Amino acid sequence: MIIKQLSIFLENKSGRLTEVTKTLGDHNINITALSVADTSEYGILRLIVSDPEKAVIVLKENGFSVSLTDVICIVVPHKPGALNKALNVFSTEKISIEYMYAFEMNGKASVIMKVTDIFESIEILKKRELELLKASDAYMV
Amino acid sequence: MIWNESIECMNREGIRALQGKRLVETVERVYHNVKFYRNKMQDLGLEPGDIKDIDDLYKLPFTTKDDLRENYPFGLFSVPMSEVVRVHASSGTTGKPTVVGYTRKDLSTWSEVVARTLTCAGIQKHDRIQIAYGYGLFTGGLGVHYGSEKVGATVIPISGGNTAKQIQLMQDFESTAIACTPSYALYLAEALEEQGIDPETLNIKVGIFGAEPWTENMRKEIESKLKIKAIDIYGLSEIIGPGVSSECEAQDGLHIFEDHFIPEVVDTNTLNPLGYGEKGELVFTTVTKEALPILRYRTRDLTILKDEVCSCGRTMVRMEKCTGRSDDMLIIRGVNIFPSQIESVLLEISETKPHYLLIVERINNLDTLEVWVEVDGVFFSDEIKKLEFLTKKITHAIESALGIGVKVKLVEPKTIERSEGKAKRVVDKRII
pLDDT digits (tens, 9 = 90+) for B247-257: 999 999 999 99
Phi/psi class of residue B33: alpha, beta or left (left: φ > 0; alpha: ψ in -120 to 50)?
Answer: alpha
Q: What is the CATH number of the domain that holds B406?
A: 3.30.300.30
Give the mean pLDDT of B177-183: 93
Long-range contacts of B359-365 (CB under 8 A, 24+ apart): B359/B427, B359/B429, B360/B330, B360/B332, B360/B426, B360/B427, B360/B428, B360/B429, B360/B430, B361/B429, B361/B430, B362/B183, B362/B429, B362/B430, B362/B431, B362/B432, B364/B187, B364/B190, B365/B183, B365/B184, B365/B186, B365/B187, B365/B189, B365/B190
- Residue A67 distance to chain B (closest CA, Å): 7
Mutate to test the interface with A, among B382, B385, B388 (most CBs of A within 10 A): B382
- Region B370-398: mean pLDDT is 85
Same domain assignment for residues B173 and B192: yes
Does residue B415 have a pLDDT over 80? no
- C-alpha span between A40 and B355 (Å, rounded): 22
What pLDDT is stored for residue B422 in this prediction? 53
Which residues, including other chains, have CB under 8 Å from residue B278's CB and lie 6 or more apart? B265, B304
The CATH class for the domain spanning A70-139 reads alpha beta
CA distance B20 to B302: 25
Q: How far is B329 from chain A (nearest CA, A)?
A: 28
Q: What is the mean pLDDT of chain B?
A: 91
Segment A20-39 mean pLDDT = 95
Both B165 and B80 in a single domain?
Answer: yes
A4, A5, A36, A65: best to mutate for the B interface, most B CBs within 10 A:
A65
**From CA B343, how far away is CA B347, in angstroms rounded?**
6
Helix (H, G, I), strand (E, B) or coil at B98: coil
Instruction: Report residue B99's pLDDT band, with 50, 70 and 90 as the boundaries.
Output: very high
Q: Does residue B107 contact residue B146 with C-beta atoms inside 8 Å? A: yes
pLDDT for residue B421 is more than 70: no
B228 and B362 together in one domain: no
How many structural domains comprise chain B? 2
At B317, is the secondary structure helix, strand, or coil? coil
pLDDT tens for B204-232 read: 999 999 988 788 888 998 999 999 999 99
DSSP result, B260-307: TEEEEEE-TTT--B--TT-EEEEEEEESS-SSS--SSEEEEEEEEEE-
Task: Choose one of B327, B347, B380: the last residue of a domain.
Answer: B327
Beta bridge partners, A111, equal A74, A102
pLDDT beyond 60 at B94: no
**Residue at a domain's end among B306, B327, B348:** B327
Query: B41 with B31: CB under 8 angstroms?
Result: yes
Boundary-marking domain end, from B295, B327, B359? B327
- B223 and B80 fall within a common domain: yes
What is the model's pLDDT at position B432? Answer: 61
B129-138 pLDDT tens trace: 999 999 999 9
Least confident piece of the model among A70-74, B104-108, B256-260, B417-421:
B417-421
Query: pLDDT category, B92, cuts 50, 70, 90?
Result: low
pLDDT recorded at residue B297: 98
Average pLDDT over residues B296-320: 96
Q: Which residues contact B191 (CB under 8 A, 6 or more apart)?
A: B163, B164, B167
| Angle between the N-to-C axes of helices B182-194 and B216-226, in degrees from 0 to 180, rounded to the nearest 10 | 30
Do B413 and A11 count as a contact with CB atoms less than 8 A apart? no
Q: Which residues pair with A68 in a beta bridge?
A: A6
Band (A13; pLDDT cuts 50, 70, 90): confident
| B84, B60: one domain | yes
Confidence of residue B418 (pLDDT cuts 50, 70, 90): low
Q: Which of B382, B383, B414 sits opposite A63 (nearest CB)?
A: B414
Rounded to an integer, the average pLDDT of B307-322 is: 95
Tell the CATH topology of A2-69: VC0802-like (3.30.2130)
Taking CB atoms and an 8 Å cutoff, what residues of chain A touch B387? 9, 39, 42, 44
Q: Is A7 on the interface with B (CB under 8 A)?
A: yes
**How close A125 gets to chain B, by Cα (Å)?**
23
Report the share of chain A in percent with pLDDT over 90: 80
- Percent above pLDDT 70 for chain A: 99
pLDDT, position B423: 61
Contact A37 B410 (CB under 8 A): no
- Which pLDDT value is given to residue B354? 64
User: Do residue B41 and residue B78 come from a single domain?
Assistant: yes
- CATH number, position B303: 3.40.50.12780
In chain A, domain spans: 2-69, 70-139
Q: What domain range is B422 assigned to?
A: 330-428
pLDDT band at B346 (very low <50, low <70, confident <90, very high): confident
Q: How many CB atoms lie within 10 A of CB B191?
A: 16
